[in-house]
Chains A and B, each alone.
Chain A
Amino acid sequence: MADVHLLEATVVVVEEHVSFTLPALCRACGAEPELLESMVSEGLLRPAGQGPADWQFAGDALPQARRAARLARDLELDLPAVVLVMDLLAEIDRLRARLARFA
């Protein structure tokens, strides 16, 4: 049953070494381009490049976009609300990290 594959050559850390075009990010997130384009217009994702055809997203756009898509879907939120939730979650993370440092 168990195939063991050796994958040494192909493992990369997305946040450090990967950038995505719009179609690649859509595929990686399982999201439609329209959703990611609205995330860009809400300022949630900040790709380099002039328009959708040249956009290059940094690796950390993947977890951001996936989290935003989950929140929108599961909590039935519109994107401005998702942006607010994500800002607040980021703030909570920062505060928890500070708390851990001084605990």
Chain B
Amino acid sequence: MDFKDYYATLGVEPGATHDEIRRAYRKLARKFHPDVSSEPDAEARFKEVAEAHEALIDVERRAAYDEIARRHAGGQTFEPPPGWDSGFEFSGAGPGGMPGRDDGDGPGDAADFSQFFESLFGRSAPGGEPGARRGRSGGGPAQGRDHHAKVAIELPDAYRGGRRTISLRLPVRDAAGQVRLQERQLEVVIPKGVRPGQHLRLAGQGAAGHGGAPAGDLYLEIEILPHPVFRIDGADIQFDLPLAPWEAALGATVTVPTPDGSVQLDVPPASSQGRRLRLKGKGLAGKVPGDLYAVLSIALPPSVSDSDKAAYRAFAQAFAGYTARTALED
């Protein structure tokens, strides 16, 4: 495992004060938080930053980390020495047990912290300890916790509905108290018309309950992968429909794609660039089904051969009085 330089992650000196660490974290969190950031690798960057902050903002963890960093020679892979933490006393649970740091609840999640972090500070097993939840300390029946995951599906699956097998990794605590990632596969029915950002609820697929109480639920947030032709806009779908100039001018019946196969579309005469032709009800299904829009774009035939050029010259002569730039004239 690689040694992590948490000070470098936050861009502070190893001697930084508590306030400097907090300020550096806040600045980077605003930049990379996946809910507000449009940086391409925001989620991964934020995880690093949140982990570094978690390690350094706590006085005890920071002291332990500094001690390990002193003994570690740069460039080596890292193995924590056996019993390295015997001289340290940690007053609380791992970060998974900290107030407000719920597992399975987003990018700053303890469940996502690196193996390096875990090897130093441990963590509590998400879903493994319902008795540790506030108000549940009596040890009586307790419903299992709800879990969250994201799944990415293809646009045609969302359009038509379908079955997809998804893999989920769940941290669980084994009999020896060690946290392991358990992989499981679920075959999930994707409801027809599901939209990006919507959530599926799979009843009873969260953490197991205790004392005979039911299991929690599993929520899957849907992400739809970019499609080369179709773009989703709410319940509507749109795509660009290139037309030859004469098709746009004279009208034409053209074969166009839909996520569910091709259809014939009548392009009315005198259609202009950017006009949107609607195929009603052919968007994403739902209580109010969306529409499918073909956005017209005029494609110019190439002018390569002499006869191509002659055709363009004849075109120009036929439209001798036409100016393309009326909008630019006074």
- Which residues of chain A have a CB within 8 Å of any CB of chain B? 1-8, 10-16, 18, 27-32, 59, 62-63, 66-67, 69-71, 73-76, 85, 89, 97, 100-102
CA distance A31 to B146 in the complex (A): 11
B295 closest partner in A (C-beta)? A101
Interface residues on B, range: 35 or more
Asked if B29 lies at the interface with its beta carbon under 8 angstroms from chain A, I say: yes
B205 partner residues in chain A, CB cutoff 8 A: 5, 7, 10
Is A15 in contact with B199, judged by CB distance below 8 angstroms? Answer: yes
Contact B183 A5 (CB under 8 A): no
Give the 5 A-B residue pairs with the shortest CB-CB distance, closest first: A30-B102, A14-B199, A70-B106, A2-B185, A10-B203
- Flag whether B165 is at the interface (Cβ < 8 A): yes
Please give, as numbers and ranges, the residues of chain A lying within 8 Å of B1 by CB-CB distance: none
Is there an interface contact between A70 and B101, defined as CB atoms closer than 8 Å?
no
17 of the cross-chain contacts (CB-CB < 8 Å) are: A2-B185, A5-B185, A7-B186, A7-B202, A8-B189, A11-B188, A15-B199, A27-B143, A30-B145, A66-B106, A73-B108, A74-B29, A74-B33, A74-B50, A75-B26, A75-B29, A75-B30
Asked if residues A74 and B146 are in contact (CB atoms below 8 Å), the reply is no
List chain B positions with a Cβ less than 8 A from chain A.
26, 29-30, 33, 35-36, 46, 50, 100-108, 134, 143, 145-146, 148, 163, 165, 183-191, 194-195, 197-205, 216-217, 219, 221, 231, 233-234, 238, 274, 286-287
Kindly count the residue-residue contacts between A and B in the assembled complex, taking CB atoms under 8 Å apart: 121
Residues of B within 8 A of A100 (CB): 231, 233
For B184, what are the chain A residues with a Cβ–Cβ distance below 8 Å? Answer: 2-3, 5
Check B105 against A70 for contact (C-beta < 8 Å). yes
In the assembled complex, which residues on chain A have CB atoms less than 8 Å from the CB atom of B216?
27
